[in-house]
Chains A and B, each alone.
Chain A
Amino acid sequence: MRFKKPGIWLFLLMCFVLIGSAVPAKTKLNFVFWLWAPEALEGWKKTFEGFMAENPDVEVNYISVPGATWGEYLDKVSTLIAGGEKPDVMWVATEGMLFLHRKNLMQPLDTYIERDKAELQEFFEDVAPALLEAMVLEGKTYALPYSWNNMVIWYNTKMFNDLGIAVPQEDWTKAEFVEISKKLTVDRNNDGKPDQYGFAVEPAYFAGTIPWLFVRGTSLLSEDLSKSNANDPKVIEVMQFLQDLIYKEKVAPTPGFGPTFNLFIAGQIGMFGAGRWPVVTFVQEGFSDCDIQYWPKWDQETPRITLFGVDGFPLLTTSQNPEEAWKLIKYMVRKDTQAKLIGTKEAPVGNIPARRSLAIGEEMSVFPPKNYKIFYESLVKFPAKPVPAPVAFTRVEEIWLRYVSAILANEMTPEEGCSKAHEEISKALGQ
């Protein structure tokens, strides 16, 4: 093409420049979150759209990261950041807080909170102190609680009814738990093998072994998370108990039994431990014959300790637009935003909103379990502690689960497994 009339081209170019500068450039916010299931994306999109409608000068550029667990998600985000991505805000749970803190990736929010105290007061009054405290590291607040989960026992009400078993009461103990498990374990076709079991022992961290350690009054790590406690006789006692459920009492299937939620729906497992997240599967499958109870007490003397994990949105040190990011963080804890966490029949969500008014509110009653209020009550009725997650969380989790799986496969005694785990965890924490 020959430029016969350069004047016209120059004019057009000027027009573009003028139009371009007339539209104010939007501030881009990079937001990273865990996409635990592809269905969840719609909900996030709606939240971002809501925020952008109120803040037309901001554009949320979201990066969804898939993964099976919080730990896996965190690994991928870390690689993302190391690869040069500069998120402003990311979603993170207890499991990753210390890690991000040690890597100096989070900014304290205290000055922002202080500045907008009046605006946030209503939020702080609506959240359990345990959740707020979990976001404080070395006296500084790094996130505002968005959603959380704690460990409770789910039970299949139909199985209890059919077998004429009384549903567990609030003050039930481990002994009653074993009794109920025995009653729930039935060999229907008389082949000498149970076809339905009382309980599912999961070789998991948060969702498997730690709740038992907490009700036994112990933990995998020391209080300040700096030392291993895996060789504590109480830890060994708990592991012996779990191994016995499978091989001595024979009220639990051997681990590796497969999709717990589906087995529970099918009436092949009477009880299992989880947070609110099974709701997603249950609603999708149209299943509602279930309810929840607090984790059983070890015995009448030992006080119960609630295990929980909470998440929020820290402002990252890589942020280039902290003011806009802070706006988004505040938006995420607003009541109307968190109300979406309850989910809808079409798109159920498995978390519990951080706000008390929502967690015990009527809206939750649309979904199972009927006893949903004890999710929140477990945080205030009993001492509540977040999941032990040191800086080297992924490493500690890997070591612990490696030995847990050997113990639950009956290939190692609890003493041996726990003492070896203790050795390795100590080494990992020392590095």
Chain B
Amino acid sequence: MSYSERVLRKKENVTGYLFILPTLIGFLSFVFGPMVAAVILSFFSWDLFTPPKFVGLGNYRALLGDEHLLSVYKNTLILVGGVVSLEIIGGLIVAVLIEQRILRSLKYFLRTTYFFPYVISATAVALVWHLLLNPDLGVVNYYLSKIGIDRINWLFSTQWARFSIILVETWKNIGFYIVIFLAGLQNIPRQLYEAAEVDGANRVQQFFYLTLPLLSPTTFFLIVVGLINAFQIFDMPYVLTRGGPGGATRTVVMYIYETGFRFFNMGYAATVSLSLFVFIAVLTFIQFRMSGRWVFYR
């Protein structure tokens, strides 16, 4: 490499770093910094007002004996399972339906309509659904009663409250899944379908033997992202049910928030948040390991 080439390379490197600088600064100060702080905090007892006290592994011991932790993890797992499976399956079905040979303008219209709730603030969505799902005055129960279904206590019974949150969360996010699935579908070459047709495969067979395997990288991406997002579910249950009834919809992140900013136990809150971090990291690792068996890259 000549001298001038090396200078050029160096210049290019600098330019590259300059481009990522804003993101890097943002990442370091708002993601990485707080993460390091959380690790350090987890060894302290800190109520925000008095100086932090070093407690060694005290918070971690408390973590093991915390019965609430089990219940908030259980709630979160139920919500995550429901939300992610509904989003993936629902998103896939809607995307495949939109991708049929229909008017292009209608296609755009549907895509935008489904995506719309995704850009609205979660709190606003939750407030509107809170009114819709009102057991005595809500529109949902009103129409259900028209077809002879008894009033359902959507938000104030353990089983329905969880279901309602899954429903609303899916309604809000499904647009994102549809759009990504649509992109994945459009990447599948037409010729493959034509070849399959020539070989005598019907539409159902085409879907299961062609579409599904070729979409697997997209599906994999969405499951990973979906799980990570769903584990951090907070605003929907916070506004819709306040974690109730009886703590049935209290999620891990709500628990972290309460511990830290309502009960001022920052050290323990940091410890719980680290447990969630490890949980998600392990889960994601397992997914990547398993992905070799079902994800096909062309």
Q: Using a CB–CB distance below 8 Å, which chain A residues touch chain B?
A: 71, 75, 78-79, 81-82, 103-105, 191, 193, 203, 253-258, 263, 268, 392, 394-395, 398, 401-403, 405-406, 408-409, 411-412, 417
- Are A395 and B134 neighbours in the complex by a CB distance under 8 Å? no
Mask of B128-160 contacts with A, CB within 8 angstroms, 1/0: 001100111110000001000001011111100
> A78-B49, A82-B49, A409-B153 given as contacts; is B135 within 8 A of A254 (CB)?
yes
- Are A256 and B246 neighbours in the complex by a CB distance under 8 Å? no
The residue on A at minimum CB distance from B266 is A82
* CB proximity of B228 to chain A, nearest CB, Å: 27
- Are A395 and B262 neighbours in the complex by a CB distance under 8 Å? yes
- Are B153 and A103 neighbours in the complex by a CB distance under 8 Å? no
Q: Which of B50, B131, B157, B258 contacts A409 (CB 8 A)?
A: B157
* CB proximity of B108 to chain A, nearest CB, Å: 37
> Most chain-A CB neighbours within 10 Å: which of B136, B137, B153, B262?
B136
- A227→B220 CA distance, assembly (Å): 53
The residue on A at minimum CB distance from B138 is A258
Q: Which of A71, A191, A254 contacts B153 (CB 8 A)?
A: A254
* CB proximity of B138 to chain A, nearest CB, Å: 8
Q: Using a CB–CB distance below 8 Å, which chain B residues touch chain A?
A: 47-50, 130-131, 134-138, 145, 151, 153-158, 243-248, 250, 258, 261-264
Interface CB pairs A-B, < 8 A, 17: A71-B262, A78-B264, A79-B261, A103-B50, A203-B244, A253-B136, A254-B135, A254-B156, A255-B245, A258-B131, A258-B136, A268-B137, A402-B246, A405-B246, A406-B248, A408-B245, A409-B153
Q: Which of B48, B137, B158, B261 contacts A411 (CB 8 A)?
A: B158
Q: Which of A191, A398, A409 contacts B156 (CB 8 A)?
A: A409
The residue on A at minimum CB distance from B150 is A193
- A309→B163 CA distance, assembly (Å): 37
- Are B264 and A257 neighbours in the complex by a CB distance under 8 Å? no
The residue on B at minimum CB distance from A402 is B247
> A405-B156, A405-B244, A409-B246 given as contacts; is B134 within 8 A of A394 (CB)?
no
Residues of B close to A75: CB separation below 8 A? 261-262
> A193-B151, A402-B244 given as contacts; is B134 within 8 A of A257 (CB)?
yes
- Are B264 and A411 neighbours in the complex by a CB distance under 8 Å? no
Residues of B close to A263: CB separation below 8 A? 137
Give the 5 A-B CB pairs with smallest separation, nearest first.
Answer: A406-B246, A82-B48, A256-B156, A409-B245, A405-B244
The residue on A at minimum CB distance from B247 is A402
Q: Which of B153, B158, B243, B261 contacts A256 (CB 8 A)?
A: B153
Residues of B close to A253: CB separation below 8 A? 135-136
The residue on B at minimum CB distance from A269 is B136
- Are A78 and B246 neighbours in the complex by a CB distance under 8 Å? no
Residues of B close to A417: CB separation below 8 A? 246
- A253→B210 CA distance, assembly (Å): 53
- A75→B156 CA distance, assembly (Å): 26
Given contacts A203-B244, A256-B156, A257-B134, 18 further A-B contacts (CB under 8 A): A75-B261, A103-B50, A104-B49, A193-B151, A253-B135, A256-B135, A257-B135, A257-B137, A258-B130, A268-B136, A268-B137, A401-B244, A402-B247, A402-B250, A406-B245, A406-B248, A411-B158, A411-B245
> A78-B49, A81-B49, A398-B258 given as contacts; is B263 within 8 A of A255 (CB)?
no
- Are A78 and B156 neighbours in the complex by a CB distance under 8 Å? no
- A39→B253 CA distance, assembly (Å): 32
- Are A402 and B137 neighbours in the complex by a CB distance under 8 Å? no
Residues of B close to A191: CB separation below 8 A? 145
- A81→B47 CA distance, assembly (Å): 12
Residues of B close to A193: CB separation below 8 A? 151
Residues of B close to A408: CB separation below 8 A? 156, 245
* CB proximity of A421 to chain B, nearest CB, Å: 10
- Are A258 and B137 neighbours in the complex by a CB distance under 8 Å? yes
Residues of B close to A254: CB separation below 8 A? 135-136, 153, 156
* CB proximity of A78 to chain B, nearest CB, Å: 7
- A394→B257 CA distance, assembly (Å): 13
Residues of B close to A409: CB separation below 8 A? 153, 156-158, 244-246
- Are A394 and B263 neighbours in the complex by a CB distance under 8 Å? yes
Residues of A close to B261: CB separation below 8 A? 75, 79
The residue on A at minimum CB distance from B134 is A258
The residue on B at minimum CB distance from A395 is B263
- A338→B154 CA distance, assembly (Å): 43
* CB proximity of A46 to chain B, nearest CB, Å: 31
- Are A256 and B134 neighbours in the complex by a CB distance under 8 Å? yes
- A403→B157 CA distance, assembly (Å): 13
The residue on B at minimum CB distance from A195 is B136
- A379→B138 CA distance, assembly (Å): 39
Residues of A close to B263: CB separation below 8 A? 392, 394-395
- Are A403 and B246 neighbours in the complex by a CB distance under 8 Å? yes
- A79→B262 CA distance, assembly (Å): 9
* CB proximity of B246 to chain A, nearest CB, Å: 3
- Are B131 and A103 neighbours in the complex by a CB distance under 8 Å? no
* CB proximity of A242 to chain B, nearest CB, Å: 14
> Most chain-A CB neighbours within 10 Å: which of B48, B130, B244, B261?
B244
Residues of A close to B246: CB separation below 8 A? 402-403, 405-406, 409, 411-412, 417
- A72→B290 CA distance, assembly (Å): 44
- A208→B258 CA distance, assembly (Å): 22
Residues of A close to B131: CB separation below 8 A? 258
* CB proximity of A412 to chain B, nearest CB, Å: 6
Q: Which of A103, A398, A405 contacts B245 (CB 8 A)?
A: A405
